[in-house]
Structure 1
């Protein structure tokens, strides 16, 4: 026969005053006598017994003198009581916020191990708040509504915005958490520009080569680069923001899963860092149109493919062999050239896609 152990977590709390009452009754002492011996009012002693008044460290010392029970005992009773009281009050609050879980991509977060699974809905709300680093659902709403309604995020105009907040905020939060594990030096614009030139040459390499190297180069310049798989209904290709005044973050999703999109997104986000100050979030989504997005687009386009070289290339007939030759000439992957030509309308989206490199997450292979 084996013993079955059960955890006991009562949904009620016993004030330390009950123990105090039992103690004085065992000594044959009245509340009035205890008050007289300790120098406090009978009303105050009665308040402690009924749980309306707290046992302070000073009162605990007085009880030790009068009752012969150590002050630490009374202090611990009071501390445990207040903690349990707070837990019960919090649980009641969390019970009223269970519906919030429906706004989150909960299954994705649990399946990917980004969030711990709670043993019930209330515990799941608590685990979700832990993941987001917010004390309450109200604070979560204030934080992420502010972020996603910022002037830089034209995407806030989407008719499905409300249902997307949970997915976008979860994706962004995971990026923040992963960035915490990257040791980066204080941001230096000159170092970052130098890093971008070297990273541009990595576009012809495989992910197992370019990913760790670009993360290392950017960290040396004060920029954390993280790759976070997209979440359904998130629809964000990349994001940029400053975690501190000296530490920036570029977050990439591989949403379109081809090298031309990845590299354009990366250099687009790099443009935001160099051009647009240290305030706000910049999210790259399909319907973003404003001056800063246009400037970041131009930065990425010209950095990857020099403007004059591109104009010269366009004067000739666009063939696959010329695309490959031009890519070798300017030192980048041919898929980037194809993506640019397709975007600018010089090439059908049906042509030369075999020159693009398809990228997948290791878990998808």
Structure 2
């Protein structure tokens, strides 16, 4: 796409059309182009006093009136109560993520929602909530009297990739996410990863290594062997609880020296969920991390049709249970004894088989006692992550 200065009314209309198209795209180039266009559009409007008649706040209020919505009904699409109030009062323009959510779920035209996008305040101060900052202190990753800005500066000095979070979006980022808290979580992961002695290594056979990782689930000492297994193939594993407002299961990122990091929050304390999330992030490391994807963030409760996420889902499923074996499993009369025998045949923990059966059959009552609830955090958090 060619972006030109806006000198005429025709240029202005063309720029608006380009912005409306870019707002629906999620690749990094489109996000960068959109930011440039927004700056050009705003400059033209200010110099020619041609501000649009309807503000984003007006468009949202109009749809609320049509549908009989209250401000609290917007929280799933905009975020906290205070953030909803700021946008409705015109104090803050909707972010790209909020625009997508409002357009998708409430049908508000994208053109009515485009304004000056401010992901972060121009002061450079973090938007992380007090609750998120207190959680960082409780987890021991922030120093006693350290401010959140000093903490982020310390992380960015070690790994400049942390600052890329402000431009990082994935299909599996919850619309309610507090990006200030998410940036702080990523910074904490980077700081923890920096103390690891793991160094980057080439992975010769990603599929075989993934299967070996899945089979580790059967070991009674899996929680102590996991770090070593990943470290031996050049991947740092960081376990760090999610912060308030982050809605995060896992992430894949790189240390400053290029060493990949898998970071997990253990948000859902189940064996089946843990191993799927781990293999999903491993897939991102070997298939997607780098270039335009310096950070990949996942809330696995958010459905996605993104090709990258679909590939990671399929990779994780096939690594845990090869498709040629899963095809032999019946859907109706599969019982507990058969499940145990099948898990032994595949070489994975029975909880992984139980979780896969529940997901594929949309039946979360059967085998509910076999998915390993409460069997992850007590091991990994006790080991210190």
Fold shared by both chains (TM-score > 0.5): yes
Taking the aligned partners of 2:151 and 2:313, their CA distance within structure 1 comes to 35
Give the structure 1 partner of residue 165 of structure 2. Answer: 144
User: Is the aligned partner of 1:202 residue 2:229?
Assistant: no
Verify the 8 A CA contact 1:132 1:170 in the aligned structure 2.
no
Greater Cα offset, 102-111 or 332-341? 102-111
Give a deviation string over 1:92-149, Cα, whole Å, max 9, x none. xxxx77784647711111222211233xxxx6355444454369xxx999643113x3
Cα RMSD after superposing both structures: 3.0
| Alpha-carbon distance in structure 2 between the residues aligned to 1:303 and 1:317 | 25
Q: Name stretches of at least 5 consecutive residues in structure 2 with no aligned partner.
A: 1-122
Residue 135 of structure 2 corresponds to residue 108 of structure 1: yes
Aligned to 2:377: 360
The answer (yes or no) to whether the contact 2:181–2:244 under 8 Å persists in 1 is yes
Please give the residue correspondences for 1:244-263 in structure 2 after superposition, counting only pairs within 5 Å. Answer: 244=256, 246-263=258-275
Match of 2:230 in 1: 218
Task: Decide whether aligned partners of structure 1 residues 184 and 191 sit closer, same or farther in structure 2, where only a CA change above 3 A counts.
Answer: farther
Q: Which has the larger radius of gyration?
A: 1
**Residue aligning to 2:249:** 237
Mapped to 2, the partners of 1:259 and 1:185 lie a distance apart of: 28
Long gaps (5+) in structure 1: 1-95
The TM-score with structure 2 as length reference comes to 0.59
- Per-residue Cα deviation, 1:185-214 (whole angstroms, up to 9, x for no partner): 3321216555433322221234xx223322
Q: Name the structure 2 match of 1:273.
A: 285
Secondary structure of 1:313's aligned partner: coil
The alpha-carbon deviation at position 321 of structure 1 amounts to 1.1
Matched, 1:183 2:200: no
C-alpha offsets along residues 158-211 of structure 1, whole Å, 9 cap, x if unaligned? 4424xx1122222222211111122223321216555433322221234xx223
Residue equivalent to 2:42: none
Question: Number of residues paired by the alignment?
Answer: 253
